Amino acid sequence: MTDFVDAQIGPRGSLENLSQSEIDKLLDSQDGGLYPLFRKCALAVLNSGSETDNAAEIFERYRDFEVELVRRPWGIKLEIRNAPGQAFVDGEMIRGIKEHVFAVLRDVVFIANEVNDSGRFDFKEPASLTNAVFHILRNARALDYKSKPNLVVCWGGHSIGDVEYQYTKRVGYELGLRGLDVCTGCGPGAMKGPMKGATIGHAKQRIVNGRYIGLTEPGIIAAEPPNPIVNQLVIMPDIEKRLEAFVRLAHGVVVFPGGVGTAEEILHLLGILLDPANAEQQLPVVLTGPRSSAAYFVQIQQFISQTLGPVAAERLHVIVDDPAEVARFMVRGMQALREFRRSRSDSYNFNWLMRIQPEFQLPFEVTHESMRRLRLYRDQPTHELAADLRRAFSGIVTGNVKEHGVRAIERLGPYELTGDRAVLGPLDELLQSFVAQKRMKLPGSVYRPCYRLIG
């Protein structure tokens, strides 16, 4: 395989025509232009299969990578130079990766023109933020499915061992056998395994239109490049809108072992489900893994119970080492969800009635100062503590794998988190267990903590 490849590619299914103003924006390499963002996301997609989750390392290795938009009388083409060789077979770009490149182009253009610059959305108003999420998903055709609920959102770590990875495939296989589709963060590890297993289950059931939806965002895409099984890739503007998209799309949630990113997702979901306005919402949630990972779920439930209370921990159903039961649990839960949605005239493909408070919607800009300002204290409402804990984990993800976060840590040292011992104690214990179990970075990497707890 050649390390660097030049190619010219035409669109497949996502985008064929651009206006002159859209092309001008894409060609603008200034800070306000779209080219730097598009280049970064396109390179991440082409780097699928990489053995590193260090975004800075990826961008340095392919610093000469270029992608140029070429306008033709019949549409557009992309001229790509010095691209990662693993995206090609015998000089031809893998079809799934080609679709992902144009999905990136589609979403970058749409979000810039129709969401950020259109004036249609008030980004301080919850209902308007939800509308923005809906329009991005609709434009990506992620809402075209019109049958009964069947979409399982799968969360889990990109840095997992082979035993856990094989287990995620077995769960995906059982989901596929029951006609369930899969949505993940689209990267490697626990995001790839369920999709890989589901393809076999679907094939045995002769399901040819299975959905493998991948939701990502520019800050994480280089560290977790989309795997080629994804057949519907959506680039959300930021982590908060990505998390809302997961919750609004999901008909069920399966959580595999992971690290801080998975803990962030769990806290986001719990913070929403614990809102009294969502007390009647039907959404099956299960934590699962092989028997060797049982201690992980004990740690998660213990952490949730000690920080947010036992009621929060009870919302997490645990099934150990039983993929078929996980799938059956999802099927049963989706039957209840279907009846709930029908009785309230809510749509199956986008949960409009779930209330999401602003603290779970508004983007959290991770800086050393914003991390210091987080209130990790028990003397506040549970949902507010859940929101700040979620932000703390989001910051650690940023410091671990996101390019700007890694560089900020190199320059200014670790983030500082302050709080009382009732919160920092369990947090420290959980994070130390993630480090010991090598859940912070890909196997073989040396982890240097990007955080410091001060209590």
State the CATH architecture for 137-455. 3-Layer(aba) Sandwich (3.40)
Q: How many C-beta neighbours within 10 Å does residue 23 have?
A: 15
Q: Which long-range contacts (CB under 8 A, 24 or more apart) does 23-28 make?
A: 23/69, 23/71, 23/76, 25/109, 25/112, 25/113, 26/69, 26/105, 26/108, 26/109, 27/69
pTM: 0.88
Instruction: Give residue for tokens 């239109």.
Output: 209
Task: Give Cα 305 distance to the centre of its chain.
Answer: 25
The strand order across the sheet containing 66-72 reads 4-9, 75-84, 66-72
Q: Residue 32: what pLDDT?
A: 60
Burial letters 387-417, b for 16+ CB under 10 A, else e: bbbbbbbbbbbbbbbbbebbebbeeeebbeb
Q: pLDDT below 70 — which residues of the chain?
A: 1-2, 11-20, 23, 27-32, 50-56, 72-75, 441-445
Burial class (CB in 10 A: 0-12, 13-18, 19+), 159: buried
Q: Residue 52: what pLDDT?
A: 63
Name the nearest CA neighbour of 100 among 236, 227, 249: 227
CATH number (3.30.43.10, 3.50.50.60, 3.30.1330.20, 3.30.1850.10) of 4-111 reads: 3.30.1850.10
Note the helical H segments in 55-177.
Answer: 55-61, 95-110, 126-139, 162-177
Report d(CA 45, CA 29) in Å as an integer. 20
Sequence ranges of the domains in the chain: 4-111, 137-455
Q: Residue 31: what pLDDT?
A: 58
Q: Residue 174: what pLDDT?
A: 98
Q: Residue 289: what pLDDT?
A: 96
pLDDT in tens, 64-104: 898 888 776 656 788 899 988 888 998 888 988 989 988 98
Do 378 and 358 meet the contact criterion of CB atoms below 8 Å apart? no
Name the nearest CA neighbour of 41 among 229, 240, 224: 224
- The two tokens of residue 384 are 């507010």
Judged by DSSP in three states, 7 sits in strand
Q: Which residues contact 159 (CB under 8 A, 6 or more apart)?
A: 53, 189, 259, 438, 439, 440, 441, 442, 443, 445
Do 382 and 312 meet the contact criterion of CB atoms below 8 Å apart? yes
Q: Residue 14: what pLDDT?
A: 47
